[in-house]
Amino acid sequence: MTTEQSIKLVRAAANPLIAPKDVTPSYPDWEVLGVFNAGVHQVQGETVMLLRVAERPQQTDPQHVLIPVLNTEGTAEERQAQPMTIVALDREDAALDFSDPRVVSDQEGNTLYLTSISHLRVARSRDGIQFEVDPSPTVLPEGRMEAWGIEDPRVTLIEDKYYITYSAVSEKGVAVGLMSSPDLQTYKREGLILAPTNKDVAIFPEKIGGKYWMLHRPVPEGLGSPEMWVAASPDLIHWGDHRFQMGLRTGLWDSARIGAGCVPIKTEEGWLILYHGADDQHNYAMGAALLDLEQPDRVLARMEQPLMVPEAEYETSGFFANVVFACGAVVKGDEIIMYYGASDDTMAAVSFSLKEVMEQLHQTRQKGLDESDATDS
Ligand code: MAN
Protein backbone atom coordinates (compact mmCIF):
# COMPACT_ATOMS: atom_id res chain seq x y z
CA MET A 1 0.00 0.00 0.00
CA THR A 2 1.23 3.43 -0.89
CA THR A 3 2.19 5.69 2.00
CA GLU A 4 1.94 9.45 2.11
CA GLN A 5 4.76 11.90 2.56
CA SER A 6 5.30 13.04 6.13
CA ILE A 7 3.48 16.32 5.57
CA LYS A 8 0.91 17.04 8.25
CA LEU A 9 -2.54 17.00 6.72
CA VAL A 10 -5.46 18.44 8.65
CA ARG A 11 -8.79 17.31 7.27
CA ALA A 12 -11.59 19.73 8.14
CA ALA A 13 -13.47 18.46 11.20
CA ALA A 14 -16.74 19.24 9.38
CA ASN A 15 -15.90 16.98 6.41
CA PRO A 16 -17.64 16.21 4.22
CA LEU A 17 -18.48 19.90 3.81
CA ILE A 18 -21.15 19.36 1.17
CA ALA A 19 -23.06 16.15 0.47
CA PRO A 20 -25.79 15.28 -2.06
CA LYS A 21 -28.48 15.88 0.61
CA ASP A 22 -27.41 19.56 0.72
CA VAL A 23 -28.16 20.06 -2.96
CA THR A 24 -31.60 20.51 -4.49
CA PRO A 25 -31.91 18.52 -7.72
CA SER A 26 -32.72 20.41 -10.93
CA TYR A 27 -36.07 18.64 -11.29
CA PRO A 28 -38.50 17.50 -8.59
CA ASP A 29 -38.37 13.82 -9.57
CA TRP A 30 -34.56 13.71 -9.81
CA GLU A 31 -31.89 12.79 -7.29
CA VAL A 32 -28.42 14.18 -6.72
CA LEU A 33 -25.80 11.43 -6.83
CA GLY A 34 -22.74 13.49 -6.18
CA VAL A 35 -21.44 16.97 -5.47
CA PHE A 36 -17.69 16.94 -6.02
CA ASN A 37 -14.58 18.11 -7.92
CA ALA A 38 -15.30 21.82 -7.41
CA GLY A 39 -13.29 24.74 -8.74
CA VAL A 40 -12.58 27.28 -6.00
CA HIS A 41 -11.67 30.94 -5.69
CA GLN A 42 -11.72 33.70 -3.12
CA VAL A 43 -14.14 36.42 -4.20
CA GLN A 44 -14.34 39.54 -2.05
CA GLY A 45 -13.65 37.81 1.23
CA GLU A 46 -15.80 34.79 0.44
CA THR A 47 -14.72 31.34 -0.64
CA VAL A 48 -16.73 30.47 -3.74
CA MET A 49 -16.89 26.91 -5.00
CA LEU A 50 -18.12 26.02 -8.43
CA LEU A 51 -19.44 22.55 -7.70
CA ARG A 52 -19.91 19.69 -10.07
CA VAL A 53 -23.41 18.37 -9.35
CA ALA A 54 -24.14 14.93 -10.83
CA GLU A 55 -27.80 13.96 -10.93
CA ARG A 56 -30.28 11.63 -12.59
CA PRO A 57 -33.97 10.79 -12.58
CA GLN A 58 -35.04 8.82 -9.50
CA GLN A 59 -34.62 5.17 -10.38
CA THR A 60 -38.23 4.17 -9.83
CA ASP A 61 -38.42 1.53 -12.56
CA PRO A 62 -37.10 -1.84 -11.29
CA GLN A 63 -36.67 -3.16 -14.85
CA HIS A 64 -34.75 -0.23 -16.29
CA VAL A 65 -31.82 2.02 -15.58
CA LEU A 66 -32.91 5.56 -16.44
CA ILE A 67 -30.17 7.58 -18.15
CA PRO A 68 -30.41 11.37 -18.51
CA VAL A 69 -29.17 12.99 -21.74
CA LEU A 70 -29.57 16.62 -22.80
CA ASN A 71 -32.23 17.02 -25.47
CA THR A 72 -30.47 18.64 -28.43
CA GLU A 73 -33.25 18.04 -30.99
CA GLY A 74 -36.04 20.35 -32.16
CA THR A 75 -36.58 24.08 -31.77
CA ALA A 76 -35.38 26.22 -28.85
CA GLU A 77 -38.96 26.24 -27.49
CA GLU A 78 -39.21 22.46 -27.68
CA ARG A 79 -35.89 22.05 -25.93
CA GLN A 80 -36.93 24.46 -23.23
CA ALA A 81 -40.18 22.58 -22.68
CA GLN A 82 -38.30 19.26 -22.54
CA PRO A 83 -34.65 19.86 -21.71
CA MET A 84 -33.81 16.22 -20.99
CA THR A 85 -34.30 12.94 -22.80
CA ILE A 86 -34.50 9.90 -20.56
CA VAL A 87 -33.07 6.70 -22.03
CA ALA A 88 -34.41 3.52 -20.39
CA LEU A 89 -31.93 0.63 -20.49
CA ASP A 90 -32.98 -2.92 -19.69
CA ARG A 91 -31.14 -4.10 -16.55
CA GLU A 92 -31.14 -7.67 -17.92
CA ASP A 93 -29.65 -6.74 -21.30
CA ALA A 94 -26.60 -9.04 -21.62
CA ALA A 95 -24.95 -6.65 -24.09
CA LEU A 96 -24.69 -3.99 -21.38
CA ASP A 97 -22.24 -3.78 -18.51
CA PHE A 98 -23.49 -1.85 -15.45
CA SER A 99 -20.61 -2.77 -13.14
CA ASP A 100 -19.00 0.72 -13.03
CA PRO A 101 -21.44 3.05 -11.20
CA ARG A 102 -20.27 5.98 -13.37
CA VAL A 103 -20.92 4.55 -16.82
CA VAL A 104 -22.78 1.96 -18.84
CA SER A 105 -20.48 0.09 -21.21
CA ASP A 106 -20.73 -2.59 -23.86
CA GLN A 107 -19.00 -5.92 -23.26
CA GLU A 108 -15.83 -4.63 -24.97
CA GLY A 109 -15.56 -1.87 -22.36
CA ASN A 110 -16.63 1.01 -24.62
CA THR A 111 -18.65 3.65 -22.78
CA LEU A 112 -22.21 3.90 -24.09
CA TYR A 113 -23.67 6.32 -21.52
CA LEU A 114 -22.87 8.08 -18.27
CA THR A 115 -25.24 7.16 -15.43
CA SER A 116 -25.73 10.83 -14.46
CA ILE A 117 -25.52 14.28 -16.00
CA SER A 118 -23.51 17.05 -14.33
CA HIS A 119 -24.00 20.80 -14.17
CA LEU A 120 -22.10 23.49 -12.25
CA ARG A 121 -23.44 25.21 -9.17
CA VAL A 122 -22.11 27.92 -6.89
CA ALA A 123 -21.65 27.48 -3.14
CA ARG A 124 -20.40 30.32 -0.92
CA SER A 125 -18.78 30.53 2.46
CA ARG A 126 -17.48 33.22 4.82
CA ASP A 127 -15.18 30.87 6.76
CA GLY A 128 -14.22 28.40 4.03
CA ILE A 129 -15.95 25.57 5.90
CA GLN A 130 -19.66 26.24 6.11
CA PHE A 131 -21.01 26.57 2.59
CA GLU A 132 -24.36 27.69 1.33
CA VAL A 133 -25.28 25.98 -1.93
CA ASP A 134 -27.34 27.91 -4.48
CA PRO A 135 -30.83 26.40 -4.81
CA SER A 136 -30.63 26.03 -8.58
CA PRO A 137 -27.97 25.30 -11.24
CA THR A 138 -25.54 28.09 -12.10
CA VAL A 139 -24.34 26.73 -15.44
CA LEU A 140 -26.29 24.00 -17.23
CA PRO A 141 -24.89 21.90 -20.06
CA GLU A 142 -25.70 23.39 -23.44
CA GLY A 143 -25.61 22.03 -27.00
CA ARG A 144 -24.47 18.79 -28.59
CA MET A 145 -20.93 18.80 -27.21
CA GLU A 146 -22.25 19.00 -23.64
CA ALA A 147 -25.15 16.59 -24.05
CA TRP A 148 -23.76 14.28 -21.34
CA GLY A 149 -22.85 17.08 -18.98
CA ILE A 150 -20.18 19.52 -17.84
CA GLU A 151 -17.66 18.42 -15.22
CA ASP A 152 -14.61 19.22 -13.12
CA PRO A 153 -14.32 23.03 -13.37
CA ARG A 154 -11.09 24.85 -12.53
CA VAL A 155 -11.16 28.57 -11.82
CA THR A 156 -8.25 30.91 -12.60
CA LEU A 157 -8.27 34.63 -11.95
CA ILE A 158 -6.28 36.52 -14.57
CA GLU A 159 -6.14 40.25 -14.05
CA ASP A 160 -9.78 41.00 -13.23
CA LYS A 161 -11.57 38.13 -14.92
CA TYR A 162 -12.20 34.53 -13.90
CA TYR A 163 -11.57 31.83 -16.47
CA ILE A 164 -13.18 28.48 -15.95
CA THR A 165 -12.11 25.36 -17.82
CA TYR A 166 -14.31 22.28 -17.71
CA SER A 167 -14.90 18.89 -19.31
CA ALA A 168 -17.59 19.04 -22.00
CA VAL A 169 -18.89 15.49 -22.28
CA SER A 170 -20.92 13.99 -25.10
CA GLU A 171 -21.02 10.90 -27.30
CA LYS A 172 -18.24 12.62 -29.27
CA GLY A 173 -15.92 12.31 -26.26
CA VAL A 174 -14.58 14.54 -23.52
CA ALA A 175 -13.49 17.96 -24.80
CA VAL A 176 -12.36 21.02 -22.86
CA GLY A 177 -14.55 24.10 -22.68
CA LEU A 178 -13.74 27.60 -21.46
CA MET A 179 -16.00 30.15 -19.80
CA SER A 180 -15.20 33.62 -18.53
CA SER A 181 -16.86 35.44 -15.67
CA PRO A 182 -16.45 38.84 -14.04
CA ASP A 183 -17.71 37.64 -10.63
CA LEU A 184 -18.42 33.88 -10.69
CA GLN A 185 -22.11 34.73 -10.93
CA THR A 186 -22.59 35.32 -14.63
CA TYR A 187 -20.76 33.24 -17.19
CA LYS A 188 -19.91 33.58 -20.86
CA ARG A 189 -19.00 30.51 -22.89
CA GLU A 190 -15.79 31.00 -24.89
CA GLY A 191 -16.12 27.72 -26.80
CA LEU A 192 -14.16 24.48 -26.83
CA ILE A 193 -10.42 25.05 -26.49
CA LEU A 194 -9.33 21.41 -26.87
CA ALA A 195 -10.90 18.58 -28.88
CA PRO A 196 -11.55 15.07 -27.46
CA THR A 197 -10.12 13.33 -25.71
CA ASN A 198 -8.60 15.82 -23.35
CA LYS A 199 -9.38 16.92 -19.78
CA ASP A 200 -7.87 18.21 -16.53
CA VAL A 201 -7.02 21.65 -17.86
CA ALA A 202 -5.78 24.28 -15.40
CA ILE A 203 -4.73 27.69 -16.67
CA PHE A 204 -1.80 29.44 -15.00
CA PRO A 205 -2.83 32.67 -13.22
CA GLU A 206 -0.42 34.91 -15.14
CA LYS A 207 1.43 35.11 -18.42
CA ILE A 208 4.81 33.40 -18.67
CA GLY A 209 7.18 34.77 -21.30
CA GLY A 210 4.38 36.89 -22.73
CA LYS A 211 1.94 34.00 -23.22
CA TYR A 212 -0.86 32.30 -21.32
CA TRP A 213 -0.16 28.69 -20.34
CA MET A 214 -2.25 25.69 -19.43
CA LEU A 215 -1.70 22.22 -18.06
CA HIS A 216 -3.64 19.65 -20.06
CA ARG A 217 -4.07 15.91 -20.22
CA PRO A 218 -4.66 14.24 -23.57
CA VAL A 219 -5.91 10.64 -23.49
CA PRO A 220 -4.15 8.92 -26.39
CA GLU A 221 -5.64 5.72 -27.81
CA GLY A 222 -3.47 2.75 -28.67
CA LEU A 223 -0.13 4.50 -28.47
CA GLY A 224 0.76 6.80 -25.56
CA SER A 225 -0.69 7.29 -22.07
CA PRO A 226 -2.82 9.77 -20.12
CA GLU A 227 0.02 12.10 -19.06
CA MET A 228 0.49 15.81 -18.49
CA TRP A 229 1.31 18.38 -21.15
CA VAL A 230 1.47 22.16 -21.30
CA ALA A 231 0.34 24.48 -24.08
CA ALA A 232 0.57 28.23 -24.67
CA SER A 233 -1.79 30.82 -26.08
CA PRO A 234 -1.74 34.51 -27.02
CA ASP A 235 -5.43 35.01 -26.11
CA LEU A 236 -6.64 32.03 -23.98
CA ILE A 237 -8.71 30.81 -26.95
CA HIS A 238 -6.14 29.55 -29.45
CA TRP A 239 -3.69 27.06 -27.98
CA GLY A 240 -0.44 25.72 -29.42
CA ASP A 241 3.21 25.10 -28.53
CA HIS A 242 2.20 21.79 -26.95
CA ARG A 243 4.94 20.26 -24.85
CA PHE A 244 5.08 17.04 -22.91
CA GLN A 245 5.54 17.78 -19.22
CA MET A 246 5.24 14.88 -16.81
CA GLY A 247 4.60 11.16 -17.24
CA LEU A 248 3.38 8.06 -15.44
CA ARG A 249 5.66 6.21 -13.02
CA THR A 250 5.63 2.44 -13.19
CA GLY A 251 5.18 0.79 -9.82
CA LEU A 252 4.19 4.00 -8.07
CA TRP A 253 0.79 5.41 -7.07
CA ASP A 254 0.56 7.43 -10.32
CA SER A 255 1.23 4.56 -12.72
CA ALA A 256 -2.01 4.56 -14.74
CA ARG A 257 -3.06 8.21 -15.20
CA ILE A 258 -2.16 11.66 -14.02
CA GLY A 259 -3.72 15.06 -14.59
CA ALA A 260 -3.81 18.60 -13.26
CA GLY A 261 -5.57 19.14 -10.01
CA CYS A 262 -5.53 22.65 -8.63
CA VAL A 263 -4.59 25.79 -10.50
CA PRO A 264 -0.78 26.20 -10.27
CA ILE A 265 0.38 28.12 -7.19
CA LYS A 266 3.22 30.61 -7.69
CA THR A 267 6.07 30.44 -5.18
CA GLU A 268 9.51 32.05 -5.25
CA GLU A 269 11.07 28.76 -6.25
CA GLY A 270 8.65 27.69 -8.93
CA TRP A 271 5.06 26.80 -9.75
CA LEU A 272 3.70 24.36 -7.22
CA ILE A 273 1.28 21.93 -8.79
CA LEU A 274 -1.04 19.67 -6.83
CA TYR A 275 -2.04 16.96 -9.31
CA HIS A 276 -4.02 13.73 -9.21
CA GLY A 277 -2.78 10.31 -10.12
CA ALA A 278 -4.26 6.83 -10.14
CA ASP A 279 -3.06 3.27 -10.41
CA ASP A 280 -4.72 0.62 -12.57
CA GLN A 281 -7.08 -0.26 -9.70
CA HIS A 282 -8.57 3.28 -9.89
CA ASN A 283 -7.10 4.36 -6.54
CA TYR A 284 -6.88 8.13 -6.87
CA ALA A 285 -4.41 10.14 -4.80
CA MET A 286 -3.01 13.68 -4.88
CA GLY A 287 0.67 14.47 -5.43
CA ALA A 288 2.89 17.53 -5.69
CA ALA A 289 5.52 18.77 -8.12
CA LEU A 290 7.43 21.97 -8.73
CA LEU A 291 7.76 23.57 -12.17
CA ASP A 292 10.24 26.10 -13.45
CA LEU A 293 8.84 29.64 -13.19
CA GLU A 294 9.87 30.53 -16.74
CA GLN A 295 9.43 27.15 -18.43
CA PRO A 296 6.32 25.39 -17.14
CA ASP A 297 7.15 22.16 -19.00
CA ARG A 298 10.31 21.82 -16.92
CA VAL A 299 9.74 19.76 -13.76
CA LEU A 300 12.17 20.78 -11.02
CA ALA A 301 10.99 18.32 -8.39
CA ARG A 302 8.29 15.73 -7.96
CA MET A 303 7.38 13.92 -4.78
CA GLU A 304 7.78 10.22 -4.98
CA GLN A 305 4.96 9.36 -2.62
CA PRO A 306 1.56 11.01 -2.74
CA LEU A 307 0.71 14.08 -0.71
CA MET A 308 -2.65 12.60 0.20
CA VAL A 309 -4.31 9.21 -0.21
CA PRO A 310 -7.93 8.25 0.56
CA GLU A 311 -8.08 7.36 4.25
CA ALA A 312 -11.12 8.93 5.90
CA GLU A 313 -14.32 6.93 5.71
CA TYR A 314 -15.91 9.39 3.24
CA GLU A 315 -12.87 8.92 0.97
CA THR A 316 -12.69 5.13 1.09
CA SER A 317 -16.40 4.46 0.66
CA GLY A 318 -19.12 6.11 -1.38
CA PHE A 319 -20.31 6.35 -4.96
CA PHE A 320 -16.89 5.60 -6.46
CA ALA A 321 -14.65 4.71 -3.52
CA ASN A 322 -10.98 5.50 -2.97
CA VAL A 323 -10.93 8.79 -4.78
CA VAL A 324 -9.55 12.14 -3.65
CA PHE A 325 -9.68 14.56 -6.57
CA ALA A 326 -8.95 18.28 -6.17
CA CYS A 327 -9.64 21.02 -8.71
CA GLY A 328 -8.90 24.02 -6.52
CA ALA A 329 -7.10 25.34 -3.46
CA VAL A 330 -6.96 28.56 -1.50
CA VAL A 331 -3.64 29.84 -0.14
CA LYS A 332 -3.65 31.92 3.06
CA GLY A 333 -0.11 32.78 4.12
CA ASP A 334 1.59 29.46 4.80
CA GLU A 335 -1.68 27.51 4.77
CA ILE A 336 -2.96 25.73 1.68
CA ILE A 337 -6.59 24.71 1.92
CA MET A 338 -7.23 22.13 -0.73
CA TYR A 339 -10.86 21.43 -1.62
CA TYR A 340 -11.45 18.00 -3.09
CA GLY A 341 -14.08 15.59 -4.24
CA ALA A 342 -14.20 12.48 -2.05
CA SER A 343 -15.36 9.21 -3.61
CA ASP A 344 -17.06 11.16 -6.41
CA ASP A 345 -19.93 12.10 -4.11
CA THR A 346 -19.00 14.76 -1.54
CA MET A 347 -16.81 17.85 -1.16
CA ALA A 348 -14.20 17.99 1.57
CA ALA A 349 -11.28 20.18 2.60
CA VAL A 350 -7.80 19.51 3.91
CA SER A 351 -5.15 21.99 4.95
CA PHE A 352 -1.38 21.74 5.12
CA SER A 353 1.67 23.95 5.24
CA LEU A 354 3.11 25.35 2.01
CA LYS A 355 6.53 25.42 3.70
CA GLU A 356 6.37 21.72 4.51
CA VAL A 357 5.44 20.85 0.94
CA MET A 358 8.29 22.98 -0.38
CA GLU A 359 10.75 21.34 2.03
CA GLN A 360 9.65 17.92 0.92
CA LEU A 361 10.06 18.92 -2.73
CA HIS A 362 13.54 20.25 -1.94
CA GLN A 363 14.52 16.89 -0.48
CA THR A 364 13.19 15.09 -3.57
CA ARG A 365 15.14 17.48 -5.74
CA GLN A 366 18.30 17.00 -3.75
CA LYS A 367 17.88 13.23 -3.89
CA GLY A 368 17.43 13.46 -7.68
CA LEU A 369 20.59 15.58 -8.00
CA ASP A 370 22.59 13.22 -5.74
CA GLU A 371 21.45 10.23 -7.80
CA SER A 372 22.41 11.88 -11.07
CA ASP A 373 25.81 12.81 -9.58
CA ALA A 374 26.29 9.18 -8.63
CA THR A 375 25.49 8.00 -12.17
CA ASP A 376 27.70 10.68 -13.72
CA SER A 377 30.75 9.67 -11.73
C1 MAN B 1 -12.17 10.88 -13.88
C2 MAN B 1 -12.32 12.34 -13.59
C3 MAN B 1 -13.17 12.71 -12.42
C4 MAN B 1 -13.47 11.61 -11.45
C5 MAN B 1 -12.47 10.48 -11.53
C6 MAN B 1 -12.78 9.32 -10.61
O7 MAN B 1 -10.85 10.67 -14.26
O8 MAN B 1 -12.79 12.98 -14.74
O9 MAN B 1 -14.37 13.27 -12.84
O10 MAN B 1 -13.49 12.13 -10.16
O11 MAN B 1 -12.43 10.00 -12.85
O12 MAN B 1 -13.99 8.71 -10.97
As a whole number, mean pLDDT of residues 230-234 equals 98
Tell me the pLDDT tens digit for each residue of 277-326. 999 999 999 999 999 999 999 999 999 999 999 999 999 999 999 999 99
As a whole number, mean pLDDT of residues 151-161 equals 97
- To the nearest whole number, what is the mean pLDDT of the chain? 96
Q: With CA atoms as reference, report the closest residue to 66 among 22, 41, 98, 99.
A: 98
Q: Where does the pLDDT of residue 3 fall: very low under 50, low under 70, confident under 90, or very high at 90 and above?
A: low
Q: How far is the CA of 74 from the centre of ligand 1 (A)?
A: 32
Is residue 304 in some structural domain? Answer: yes
Domain containing 56 — which CATH number? 2.115.10.20
Q: Closest ligand 1 atom, CA of 37?
A: 10
- With a 6 Å cutoff on the Cβ, whether 151 touches ligand 1 is yes
- With a 6 Å cutoff on the Cβ, whether 341 touches ligand 1 is yes
Is residue 4 in some structural domain? Answer: no
Atom 9, ligand 1: residue with shortest CA distance: 152
Is residue 205 in some structural domain? Answer: yes
How many domains would you assign to the chain? 1
Q: Is the pLDDT of residue 259 over 60?
A: yes
Q: Closest ligand 1 atom, CA of 257?
A: 7
Tell me the pLDDT tens digit for each residue of 200-221. 999 999 999 999 999 999 999 9
Is residue 362 in some structural domain? Answer: yes
138 φ/ψ angles, rounded to the nearest 5 degrees: -90, -50
As a whole number, mean pLDDT of residues 43-50 equals 96
**Could you tell me the residue range of the domain that residue 304 belongs to?**
10-376
Is residue 146 in some structural domain? Answer: yes
- With a 6 Å cutoff on the Cβ, whether 325 touches ligand 1 is yes
| pLDDT for the residue numbered 365 | 83
- With a 6 Å cutoff on the Cβ, whether 152 touches ligand 1 is yes
Is residue 3 in some structural domain? Answer: no
Q: How far is the CA of 35 from the centre of ligand 1 (A)?
A: 12
| pLDDT for the residue numbered 376 | 55
Neighbours of 355 (CB within 10 A): 14
- With a 6 Å cutoff on the Cβ, whether 323 touches ligand 1 is yes
Q: Is the pLDDT of residue 1 over 50?
A: no
8 Å CB contact between 234 and 212? yes
Burial 358-372 (b: 16+ CB within 10 A, else e): bebbeebbeeeeeee
370 against 327, higher pLDDT: 327
Query: What pTM value is reported for the model?
Result: 0.96
Is residue 2 in some structural domain? Answer: no
Is residue 145 in some structural domain? Answer: yes
Atom 2, ligand 1: residue with shortest CA distance: 152
Q: Is the pLDDT of residue 4 over 90?
A: no
